[in-house]
Amino acid sequence: MTMAAHNLSQRFPGRRALVTGAASGLGLACAEILAREGWRLVLTDVDAPRLDLVAQSLARDGAPSVAVACDVRDDAAIRALVDEAVAAFGGLDVAIHSAGVATAGAFHTSSAEDWRWVFDINVHGLANCCRAVLPHMSRGAGGLVINVASAASFCTNAKMSSYNAAKAAVVALSETLMQEYAPYGVQTLVAMPGFFRTRLLESARGPERTLEGARRIMQESNLEAAEVAEAMLGAAARGRTHFVYPARYAGLWRLKRLMPQRFQTLLPKLLSRTG
């Protein structure tokens, strides 16, 4: 049991959650934390074989879950999955939207196809999930939506234009949902973590040299998905709306909001120190 999961269970005694991108990374880490606290989980990911392995692993640990392979770009499939989960559980308390992909490369060499790909999954796919869960939460006793963006939404480093733009859109969408659904008892948290170890770059698109640099930074990070998930769920349990992690990225986020023009001038040096 973790303090974050315990506190969420106190807020949501029904313990019913949906997790997208649950086959790896932050989604998997969240699923494992909630499963240990006895939450009933619906897990989805586009990687069906790996998702099945996750469900089997949780079941062996005494935490049965429903695992359904689904592409978040498929609006009808996501709606059907959420409707079935609500019918089976009698409602939905928490939705964690962590499915996403990455792109890299200089802007002038980026393709329209790659822009569509990253926006279709990271923005439109996440919006599909939000449209599916929010009507159930807003008609009932409220709930919690966690949308996973990235520190790239404000640390807009060179050679990441489409990814940066997509994650910034997630932040803007989430902040809009905060305004629209808070009156119905729905908390929206947007997560903006920095680099941590994950499988995100396995499917990333971009020049190999650029991707190799990103892989090196990720491997050198001493931050694991489980630590990020614990901190993120803890922030959600405390009613936070914005989560930036670790602390050094939170400092950069505050600096950008205070001095945006100066921040852009300093960004390359700041990122080299952050790692």
Mind telling me the catalytic residues? Answer: 163
Could you give the CA distance from residue 3 to residue 114 in angstroms, rounded to a whole number? Answer: 40
What angle do the packed helices 260-274 and 247-258 form, to 10 degrees?
160
Retrieve residue 84's tokens.
Answer: 């079935």
Mind spelling out the 3-state secondary structure of 64-93? CCEEEECCCCCHHHHHHHHHHHHHHHCCCC
Could you give the CA distance from residue 27 to residue 18 in angstroms, rounded to a whole number? Answer: 10
Could you give the CA distance from residue 233 to residue 240 in angstroms, rounded to a whole number? Answer: 10
Could you give the CA distance from residue 200 to residue 63 in angstroms, rounded to a whole number? Answer: 26
Retrieve residue 167's tokens.
Answer: 């994650």
What are the DSSP E strand ranges found in the chain?
Answer: 16-20, 40-45, 66-69, 94-97, 143-148, 186-193, 242-245
Could you identify the residue written with the tokens 């998905």?
225
What are the DSSP E strand ranges found in 93-193?
Answer: 94-97, 143-148, 186-193
Is the link from the previous residue into 246 a cis peptide, with omega within 30 of 0? yes
Could you give the CA distance from residue 187 to residue 191 in angstroms, rounded to a whole number? Answer: 13
